[in-house]
Structure 1
Amino acid sequence: MTRDDPTPLGRRDRKKRQTRAALATAALRLVAERGLDQVTVEEISEAADVSARTFFNYFPTKDDALVGDPEADRDRALRALAAVPPEQPALEALRRAFTEVVDEVQGDAELWLLRMRVVVQHPVLLARLVSGNAVTEQALVSAVAARTGLPPDDAYPALVVAVAGAALRTSMIRWATCDGAGSLAALLDEAFAAVAAGLPDPRTS
């Protein structure tokens, strides 16, 4: 069973999900210990107790195992946004959609914290992540434009998605800086509340 699909997963699908997670975790731990160039696909596969051939059934390259699955994350965010009632303001709709995303992250906190540390340490991985996020942002802009009845090139959809994305990134960074202590969802709500209030200057609030 997943958050997006209430149908229970079969044994085969559960096994595939477990294998994928084991490979990603092994890759991240080895790279965190040794560095990106000192780890091979064969070593990752051995650490996950599978063959290198099995590795390539799940990931095209070593880097893909490290950065996660931006396409799946994008689809999850878009489905969550589509599920928010259309009468909700765009910023609130994005907050609700991102809350589902951060619930997934919080549920696998150890893996995500390790991924964030590894990505920050290796600029080539950070560049891939930024590229994937740019595609996601554009997809969200199109979705917000559709919700609001505005053309995709109108400033509002792009602006509200950029602001919401900044709130999400700020929350993730704060959460990672505290090594995952506390609630990521609460940090996200705090960030969105500050944005919704117009980011008042704390010296004059």
Structure 2
Amino acid sequence: MTKSQIGLRERKKAATREALSWAALRLAVERGLENVRVEDIAAAAGVSPRTYNNYFSSKAEAIVSRHCDRIRLVGEALRERPPAEPLWEALTRATLAPFDGAAEQPDPRWTAAVRLLLREPALQAELARAGADAEAGLAAAVAARTGADPGGLHPRLVAAGVLAALRAASDVWLRADPPVPLQPLLAEALRQLAAGLPEPSSS
């Protein structure tokens, strides 16, 4: 098999995975998690239940996978930033990059339904697991960039801080009334973190 054939195959697999995840999220928002079957998700994505099972082991995993894939990409994106770029500038660009397609003005009905859905313990468990994996990968990328000990305090603190900024920005985005874009919120969260979280101005 040629490199181009391998590349095409991998792109098709990624597209199928994303279609399944999006279908799972949309159906769970519309119907509630308990009212969605694997067969429903597979049909909405135009594949068989067997194909679904090749990608995901649970509905919760499918629903959160698009978000989890994005946060895992942060570490990869950081490794690709120019070596001379200051750490927090590189971190900011790497963190924002996977969210280029985020909705500028989300539908309030959608965000309200997603907030309700995220109370499900199964989804919270999947997000926690993926977050731990992403944090470890980002800490390793920070260590590689700075020459620090991968098991040391600084890379771990930086990685934990970046993911905390992402969680905070996402929560504000989901609750904002009127709706606001996600990327500027995330950029501001990272700016404040890089500045040492100064107290808000009272003026």
TM-score (norm 2): 0.77
Q: In structure 1, the residue corresponding to 2:100 is in which secondary structure? A: helix
Aligned match of 2:157 = 159
Q: How many residues align?
A: 196
Alignment of 1:74-113 (within 5 A): 75-106=72-103
Aligned match of 1:25 = 22
For the pair 1:182 / 2:183, whether they are aligned, the reply is no
- Give the one of 137, 140, 144 matched to 1:139: 137
Question: CA 1:15–1:113 in structure 2 vs 1: closer, same or farther (change >3 Å)?
Answer: farther
Q: In structure 1, the residue corresponding to 2:174 is in which secondary structure? A: helix
Q: In structure 2, the residue corresponding to 1:121 is in which secondary structure? A: coil
CA displacement 1:89-119 (0-9 Å, x = unmatched):
3222211100102214448x68x95895365
Q: In structure 1, the residue corresponding to 2:82 is in which secondary structure? A: coil
* Cα offset, 1:11, TM superposition: 8.2
Letter matched to residue 27 of structure 1: A
For the pair 1:148 / 2:183, whether they are aligned, the reply is no
**C-alpha distance in 1 between matches for 2:178 and 2:51:** 31
**C-alpha distance in 2 between matches for 1:68 and 1:34:** 19
**Sequence identity percentage:** 43
Aligned match of 1:4 = none
Question: CA 1:116–1:159 in structure 2 vs 1: closer, same or farther (change >3 Å)?
Answer: farther
Question: CA 1:139–1:13 in structure 2 vs 1: closer, same or farther (change >3 Å)?
Answer: closer
Question: CA 1:114–1:23 in structure 2 vs 1: closer, same or farther (change >3 Å)?
Answer: farther
Q: Which segments of 5 or more consecutive residues in structure 2 lack a partner in the other structure?
A: none
RMSD: 3.4
Question: CA 1:49–1:142 in structure 2 vs 1: closer, same or farther (change >3 Å)?
Answer: closer
* Cα offset, 1:53, TM superposition: 2.5
* Cα offset, 1:49, TM superposition: 4.2
CA contact (8 A) 1:76 1:101 kept: yes
CA contact (8 A) 2:20 2:41 kept: yes
TM-score (norm 1): 0.76
**C-alpha distance in 2 between matches for 1:103 and 1:59:** 25
Q: Which segments of 5 or more consecutive residues in structure 1 lack a partner in the other structure?
A: 1-6
**C-alpha distance in 2 between matches for 1:57 and 1:18:** 14
**C-alpha distance in 1 between matches for 2:201 and 2:180:** 26
Larger displacement relative to structure 2 (34-43 or 174-183): 174-183
- Give the one of 175, 190, 202 matched to 1:192: 190
CA contact (8 A) 2:23 2:41 kept: yes
